[in-house]
């Protein structure tokens, strides 16, 4: 029966190839969406890794995560420098990275931080930040750009940039008397780091020495050189990242921070907060799955149409098979076998097409979007999707098979004019 099915398919090779290609496209799309969804979720969950706690002014978990990691929104308040130093000096703390937000450069957020940021910040599977050009900042008026900032604004190492007060794309309150010089450009990470301008905390303090309440104080202008003679220790910061000496003590420090009496603070676990935020975006994830499933349904309907179209042309073929002793269940099995062969060929071709696309786009996705597309075997959800396509193909193949099964021998031999 297998040889008979193969010969029948080869006899209709044009229609068969189109049907197999349709199923292959559907398979590649469905499994590709599932893999992209999994990789995106994994990348999202690891936007920040290796950090045990994020500490900021009292706020909700997601809100604190949004403005510290994703540079979205505004903090409710700042953390005093004294409080930061007191927590940073705790024997339970291995390292800290201070963060100061509030300014921008042509629509991109400016982050004031320390050199420890480039040493301890991790993303993905604890991947360290790498430089595509230049090096970390060392002077007060030096800046390190994220990959997207440098690409979109055509900045290079050695260029000067002006920081503006506030986070608007257009600002009329610019710190143009104290420009920063680009000394480094980070490699793409696929995280908010790519859309950030990094400057020293001392630089943030320097540009605000002669400012108050968002405006420059008249008659009290301080030049860039004069600012370097001032004490540029920050009075407050937005938040800070914490790495523990022993991760077992994370919850102890978190409880101490949340119960801190001198200031209203919040300490959150980045991994838990990222999972909470991802759950809010589940609608888009399900929408992608629905679209991919609809494409698969269209592909299966195309296969059904092809089988039904050729069924009437094969009436004599079925009748001849019946006349030489083939039973109705043989006809049924033959049609189901053909549908299975079409689906199997489509699945294999679709997987091959998917892996070819992944291989072609893998480097681009990693360098441009920081998305690392795995080339491993299908995961459990992907295998489930493949099984669903195969089961759907079998159900679709039953429709013409049952029609052929019910047709009688006399109907097959009758000549209709």
First and final C-alpha spacing in the chain: 32
Tell me the pLDDT band of 386, cut-offs 50, 70 and 90. Answer: confident
CB 24 within 8 A of CB 350: yes
Residue 221 has pLDDT above 90, yes or no: no
CA dihedral 253, 98, 109, 182 (to 10 degrees): -150
Residue 150 has pLDDT above 60, yes or no: yes
pLDDT tens by residue, 371-382 = 667 777 888 888
Per-residue pLDDT, averaged over 295-306, amounts to 78
Per-residue pLDDT, averaged over 257-262, amounts to 92
Per-residue pLDDT, averaged over 42-50, amounts to 80
CB 195 within 8 A of CB 110: no
Tell me the pLDDT band of 169, cut-offs 50, 70 and 90. Answer: low
When the pLDDT of each residue in the chain is averaged and rounded to a whole number, the result is: 83
What confidence score (pLDDT) does residue 162 get? 92
In whole angstroms, how far apart are CA 226 and each of 175, 177, 231, 347? 15, 12, 11, 70
Per-residue pLDDT, averaged over 101-105, amounts to 90
The better pLDDT of the pair 26, 84 is held by 84
Query: Smallest Cα–Cα separation from 340: which of 399, 300, 393, 396?
Result: 393
In whole angstroms, how far apart are CA 306 and each of 37, 225, 412? 32, 79, 20
| The two structure tokens encoding residue 192 | 């908010």
pLDDT tens by residue, 107-142 = 899 999 999 999 999 987 788 999 999 999 999 999
Query: Smallest Cα–Cα separation from 307: which of 389, 388, 416, 395?
Result: 395
The model's pTM is: 0.72
What confidence score (pLDDT) does residue 369 get? 64
Query: Rounded distance, CA 49 to CA 325, Å?
Result: 69
Tell me the pLDDT band of 5, cut-offs 50, 70 and 90. Answer: low
Percent of the chain at pLDDT > 90 equals: 38
The better pLDDT of the pair 171, 275 is held by 275
> Mean pLDDT: which of 92-101, 279-288, 358-367 is highest?
92-101
**Window from 101-105, 320-324, 342-346 with minimum mean pLDDT:** 320-324
What confidence score (pLDDT) does residue 340 get? 80
Residue 206 has pLDDT above 50, yes or no: yes
Query: Rounded distance, CA 416 to CA 153, Å?
Result: 73
Residue 25's Cβ-side half-sphere holds a number of Cα atoms within 13 Å equal to 13
Tell me the pLDDT band of 326, cut-offs 50, 70 and 90. Answer: low
Do you know the residue count of the chain? 417
Residue 258 has pLDDT above 80, yes or no: yes
What confidence score (pLDDT) does residue 1 get? 59
Query: Smallest Cα–Cα separation from 152: which of 103, 101, 107?
Result: 107
Give residue for tokens 């099915």.
5
What percent of the residues of the chain are helix, what percent strand, and what percent coil, each to the nearest 5?
A: 55, 15, 30
What confidence score (pLDDT) does residue 408 get? 47
In whole angstroms, how far apart are CA 370 and each of 37, 44, 188, 352? 14, 10, 6, 24
Domain borders along the chain are 2-44+282-413, 53-268
What confidence score (pLDDT) does residue 210 get? 79
Tell me the pLDDT band of 86, cut-offs 50, 70 and 90. Answer: very high
Query: Rounded distance, CA 395 to CA 343, Å?
Result: 11
DSSP secondary structure code for residue 121 in this structure: -
Per-residue pLDDT, averaged over 170-187, amounts to 84
**Window from 141-155, 198-212, 237-251, 297-311 with minimum mean pLDDT:** 297-311
Tell me the pLDDT band of 300, cut-offs 50, 70 and 90. Answer: confident
Q: Give one DSSP letter per residue of 192-232, joined into a string.
A: GGGGEEEEEHHHHHHHTTTEETTEEPTT----HHHHTTS--
What confidence score (pLDDT) does residue 214 get? 61
> Mean pLDDT: which of 293-302, 351-360, 395-404 is highest?
351-360
Query: Rounded distance, CA 327 to CA 323, Å?
Result: 9
């Amino acid at each position: 029966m297998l040889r008979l099915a193969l010969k029948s398919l080869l006899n209709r090779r044009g229609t068969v190839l189109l049907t197999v290609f349709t199923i292959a496209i559907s398979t590649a799309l469905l499994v590709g969406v599932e893999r992209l969804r999994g990789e995106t979720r994994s990348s999202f969950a690891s936007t920040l890794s290796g950090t045990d706690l994020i500490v900021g002014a009292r706020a909700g978990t997601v809100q604190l995560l949004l403005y510290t990691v994703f540079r979205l929104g505004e903090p409710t308040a700042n953390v005093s420098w004294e409080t930061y130093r007191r927590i940073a000096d705790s024997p339970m703390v291995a390292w800290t990275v201070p963060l100061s937000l509030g300014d921008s450069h042509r629509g991109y957020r400016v982050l004031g931080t320390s050199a420890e940021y480039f040493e301890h910040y991790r993303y993905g599977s604890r991947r360290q930040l790498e430089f595509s050009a230049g090096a970390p900042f060392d002077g007060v008026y030096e800046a390190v750009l994220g990959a997207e900032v440098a690409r979109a604004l055509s900045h290079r190492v050695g260029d000067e940039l002006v920081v503006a007060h506030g986070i608007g794309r257009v600002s009329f309150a610019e710190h143009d008397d104290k420009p920063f010089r680009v000394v480094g450009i980070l490699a793409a990470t696929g995280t908010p780091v790519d859309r950030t301008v990094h400057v020293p905390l001392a630089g943030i303090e320097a540009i605000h020495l002669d400012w108050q309440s968002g405006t420059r104080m008249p008659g009290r202008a301080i030049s860039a050189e004069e600012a370097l003679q001032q004490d540029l220790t920050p009075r407050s910061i937005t938040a800070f990242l914490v790495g523990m000496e022993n991760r077992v003590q994370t919850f102890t420090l978190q409880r101490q921070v949340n119960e801190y009496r001198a200031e209203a603070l919040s300490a959150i676990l980045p991994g838990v907060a990222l999972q909470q935020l991802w759950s809010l975006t589940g609608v888009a994830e399900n929408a992608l799955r629905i679209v991919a499933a609809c494409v698969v349904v269209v592909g299966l309907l195309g296969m059904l149409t092809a089988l039904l179209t050729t069924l009437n042309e094969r009436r004599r073929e079925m009748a001849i098979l019946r006349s030489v002793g083939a039973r109705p269940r043989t006809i049924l099995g033959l049609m189901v076998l053909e549908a299975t062969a079409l689906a199997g060929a489509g699945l294999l071709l679709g997987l091959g097409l998917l892996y070819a696309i992944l291989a072609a786009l893998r480097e681009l996705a990693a360098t441009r979007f920081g998305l690392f597309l795995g080339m491993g075997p299908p995961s459990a959800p992907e295998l489930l999707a493949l099984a669903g396509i195969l089961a759907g193909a079998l159900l679709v193949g039953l429709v013409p098979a049952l029609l052929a099964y019910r047709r009688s021998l006399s109907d097959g031999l009758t000549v209709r004019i």
